[in-house]
Amino acid sequence: MATKALPPGSTIGILGGGQLGRMTAMAAARLGYRSVVYSPEAHSIAGDVATAHISGAYDDATALARFADAVDVVTYEFENVPEATVAECARRRPVRPGIKPIHFAQHRLREKEFFRKSGLGTADYQQIAGEGDIARATALPGILKTSTEGYDGKGQIRVHSREDLFAAWDKLGRRECILEALVDFECEISAIVARGLDGEARCFPIGRNEHRDGILRATAVPSGLPSAVEEQAKDYGLRLAESLDLVGLVALEMFVTRDGRVLANEMAPRPHNSGHWTIDACATSQFEQLVRTVCGLPLGAVDLLASSRMINLIGDEANDWARYLAEPTARLHLYGKGKARPGRKMGHVTYVMPRK
């Protein structure tokens, strides 16, 4: 595969048709690139702003070949694209990032083991795949999570005792799970790292996150944390990108404990909800940075231009669009989704406060 830069006018293929693909396509268009979106749906909000949308199942080799032949490079907007789909595309075009990041991100136990091997601290954890594992469980109290297919708080149950653990494992279908010990944390943070074809990597300013019902509610930058904590978080993010041999973006969510330790929780090898503030308050947005990495362009600056607080608009909250538009410090982003549902991310608003 060629490793030289793809010039403006080239076409980026995006696997997945959600809001992350939408904002990536918008960033690509601003730099003069075309985008083709591939998703199983006949219509997608990413396809609305792209050059073209190709509909097909993720195991449809014919449709995937048509998609890959229409683009110059491929990326993905969420990490649950099947590995086989990425491999099929990679036979025809460069895929950035490739299979390795999603291989680990799709499986929580593999992910935690990879963190440890990469030198990242984590909470205590153990595999729960049978009754014998439950009998030997020591990471209690904890959270039992399915090893695969969990997202936004789904597929996980808090447990306090061995009896709770057995009932939770039974409720989750007696499938392979990971038991993660509860962490007494002060806050949750995230580092988003971009790494280019030449190995250069840059970490965006650390965001301080707030979650509600397993869904990210808000991200504030600056984080307000001690510089030593922020440097540890950035170091973890950069180590992870290097270990993955990443070309693209990776977001690493972490806990900061009350005694100042940083513990890796989970990663996402694509743009991340906690990085949406970069569109309005950073020299380069995370979406533009993804376009730069996959096309082999120089990385953009990650200087913080303004203090910001990004808030997700969940369900009916997006109906208050007129109020947000009337607020001078608010920057409204709606995703063009049809029907609002409880728990559905309909958009976000970023409050921007120029730095003094």
Query: For 95-108, how does the pLDDT look when each residue is reduced to its tens digit (9 = 90+)?
Result: 999 999 999 999 99
CB-based contact 137:162 (threshold 8 Å): yes
Please write the tens of the pLDDT for every residue from 147-185: 998 665 678 999 999 999 999 999 999 999 999 999 999
Q: How confident is the model at residue 3 (pLDDT cuts 50, 70, 90)?
A: low
Q: Which of 295, 237, 233, 302 is nearest to 268 (CA)?
A: 237
Strand pairing category for 34-39 and 11-15: parallel
Provide CATH code, domain 11-95: 3.40.50.20
pLDDT of residue 307: 98
Four-CA torsion 257, 267, 282, 297, nearest 10 degrees: 140
Average pLDDT over residues 122-148: 95
Q: What is the mean pLDDT of residues 116-142?
A: 96
DSSP label of 327: -
Q: Which of 3, 2, 48 is nearest to 29 (CA)?
A: 48
Domain ranges of the chain: 11-95, 124-181, 185-354
Average pLDDT value for residue range 282-290: 98
- Of 332, 284, 330, 333, which Cα lies nearest the Cα of 308? 330
The CATH T-level fold of domain 124-181 is Dna Ligase; domain 1 (3.30.1490)
Instruction: Quickly count: other Cβ atoms within 10 Å of residue 150's Cβ.
Output: 18
Average pLDDT for residues 106-134, to the nearest whole number? Answer: 97
Compute the average pLDDT of residues 271-294. 98
Q: Say how far apart CA 53 and CA 41 lie, in whole Å.
A: 10
Q: Read off the pLDDT of each residue in 187-216 and give the average, rounded to a whole number.
A: 96
Q: Place 355 in a pLDDT band, splitting at 50, 70 and 90.
A: low
pLDDT of 20-58, one tens digit each?
A: 999 999 999 999 999 999 999 999 999 999 999 999 999
Tell me, what's the pLDDT at 2?
42
pLDDT at 288 over 70: yes
Other Cβ atoms less than 10 A from the Cβ of 201: the count is 19
CATH architecture group of domain 185-354: 2-Layer Sandwich (3.30)
Domains 124-181 and 185-354 share a fold: no
Q: What is the pLDDT of residue 214?
A: 84
Give tens-digit pLDDT for 60-94.
999 999 999 999 999 999 999 999 999 999 999 99
Q: Among 9-18, 30-39, 114-123, 211-220, name the one with the lowest average pLDDT.
A: 211-220
Chain-centroid distance, C-alpha 233: 16
What pLDDT, in 10s, does the model give residues 12-28?
999 999 999 999 999 99
For the chain, what is the mean pLDDT?
96
Q: What is the pLDDT of residues 297-341, one digit of tens each?
A: 999 999 999 999 999 999 999 999 999 999 999 999 999 999 999
Distance of alpha carbon 35 from alpha carbon 294, whole angstroms: 12
Q: What average pLDDT score do residues 254-281 get?
A: 97
To the nearest 10°, report the CA torsion of 91, 92, 93, 94: 20
pLDDT at 4: 86
Q: Which two tokens stand for residue 240?
A: 């992870």
